[in-house]
Amino acid sequence: MNKYHGVSVATKLAFTTLREDQGEPLFWSMHWQRLLKSWKYFGLPSVPNEKELFLKVCQFFKEQPDQILRIDLLNDQRFEFNSRPLVCRDSEALLKLSLSQNRLMKRSIPPWLKAGDYSWRMSQRELARKKNFDDYLYLDEQEKIAEATVSNLIWCKGSTFFTPQVSEYILQGITVSLFLENHKNNFTCSIFDLNDLLGADAAWLVNAVTGPQRIASLDQHKFSSKLPQVDLDQLYWGLVKQDRKTRSE
């Protein structure tokens, strides 16, 4: 632990961010696996009690259902809860993105590990909003499509979905992982150029809090507003329904 004025201060090692669904954490199993892998990755002794943590999370959402919960794993073997309001921007059905001039560098940690200081990314998203966009889209240092500030990217062409493959530049998000696990035959994962995205029938930003959010435009390029041949929202709500069934068993 770090020391501040002679007092030991716990260090945040990793985290995961959840939202509530019918009084319980949505996609809990995936979030728990992320926390458990993080626990083992950092070499912490013993194994945390999943049921105990799950009940604490449920109690949190019972008291604060309109909050997003961030669970931080600390190096003193504790989990710390931090929250912020769940804000839905329903007045803007489609997102407006801008291509960032910054290029993402390689991560020094595994692609599944959610760790580090996200304040820069959050500040970049706020900067995009001040410029009348909803978010920035990033390319990596090889000029290949990467991700948005806190979301993965999925698009479709015809009957196929596309998403950047797991790499040293991208966080392997929980929702995209669930799509690939349950609908592998519907997805193509590869390394993509920007033109691959610009030729899409439809595109979405996806994360574990918002689910899929359809993209209207990327700077001056406008995506079609027509219903695509394949519906990512339908697949997503199928995952939610499946998760609810699993939690009730």
- Amino acid identity of residue 235, one-letter, is L
β-strand partners of 220: none
Question: Cα separation of 69 and 57, whole Å?
Answer: 8
Contacts of 180 (CB under 8 A, 6+ apart): 163, 187, 189
Note whether 206 and 175 are within 8 A (CB): yes
b/e 100-112 (16+ beta carbons within 10 angstroms → b): beeebeeeeeeeb
CATH match for 95-239 among 3.30.1330.60, 3.20.10.10, 3.30.70.1250, 3.30.70.20: 3.20.10.10
If we measure between CA atoms, which residue out of 215, 204, 217, 212 comes closest to residue 233?
212
Question: Cα separation of 137 and 213, whole Å?
Answer: 14
- What integer pLDDT is reported at residue 88 of this predicted model? 59
- What integer pLDDT is reported at residue 25 of this predicted model? 97
pLDDT tens track, the chain, 249 positions: 443 334 345 799 999 999 999 999 999 999 999 999 999 999 999 889 999 999 999 999 999 999 999 999 999 999 999 999 987 544 456 999 999 999 999 999 999 999 988 899 999 999 999 999 999 999 999 999 999 999 999 999 999 999 999 999 999 999 999 999 999 999 999 999 999 999 999 999 999 999 999 999 999 999 998 888 889 999 999 999 999 999 888
Note whether 38 and 71 are within 8 A (CB): no
CATH code for the structural domain at 2-85: 3.30.470.10
Question: Cα separation of 10 and 44, whole Å?
Answer: 14
- What integer pLDDT is reported at residue 90 of this predicted model? 45
If we measure between CA atoms, which residue out of 235, 114, 238, 112 comes closest to residue 177?
112
Tokens of 246: 């699993």
- What integer pLDDT is reported at residue 9 of this predicted model? 54
- What integer pLDDT is reported at residue 91 of this predicted model? 45
Answering whether pTM is above 0.95, one says no
- Amino acid identity of residue 67, one-letter, is Q
| Residue-range domain boundaries for the chain | 2-85, 95-239
